[in-house]
Each structure stands twice: as structure tokens, then as C-alpha cells.
Amino acid sequence: MLNYAGTPPLAAMADADSRQLIEAELRSLIARIDISVRLIDAAMKPEDDEPVPDSAIAGSAEIFVLDDVTPRYATASAALNACRAGLGRALQSLSESGNAA
């Protein structure tokens, strides 16, 4: 867990400066989420390995591979997408409040 005890208060800053810092942090979080989603998507892509010709299952349409990792990746991806949507709404709200001032 992060400890922000030594972090100076933003209250001493002008409202515009603190809002810009918050917006920059939200953009940073969104970028990190995007990276994580891309990593998850890459991990979920099926491998393009060539079947081994000597294999008894090569070319068989009756073999199904059950993957117990993909559902967890899909759940994590959905959670990250929901988080990204919330951060996007927060960023938009801050941007709109800055234009009104």
C-alpha cells in the first residue's frame, strides 16, 4: 500500500494547477490501464503453432482444448475496462469544470 503521509498538500496550489495535476494523473492511470488491457489481449490470443504431423490429433476436428486461464483474463480485462470508463468520466468531469471557471 502506498504511503502518502509525506506528500505535500495540494490545497496550497491554485485551483487550476491542482486540477491540471489531477487530470495528468488520471491520464497516466488511463494509459497504464490501456497497456494492461493490451497485455491481457496478447496473452489471450491463440498461439499460431503448427500442428506436429506425427501427432494423432493433428488435423482432428473432434479435439477441444479447455482453457482455464482465458476466463480469468476476460474477467480482468472487463474490470480494467470498467475502471478505464470511470476514470474517463472523472477526467471529463474535471475538464468540464475547468472550462466553466
Residue among 10, 19, 4, 7 nearest 90 (CA):
19
Please check whether residue 46 lies inside any domain of the structure: no
Residue 34 lies in a domain: no
Asked if 52 contacts 58 with a C-beta cutoff of 8 angstroms, the reply is yes
Q: Which domain holds residue 92?
A: 70-101
Closest CA to 29 of 97, 86, 72, 98: 86
Residue 61 lies in a domain: no
Cβ neighbours of residue 76 closer than 8 Å, sequence gap 6 or more:
40
Q: Give the number of domains in the chain.
A: 1
pLDDT tens digits, residue range 38-64? 999 998 887 655 455 555 555 566 666
- Does 18 reside within a domain? no
Does residue 89 belong to any structural domain of this protein? yes
Does the pTM of the predicted model rise above 0.95? Answer: no
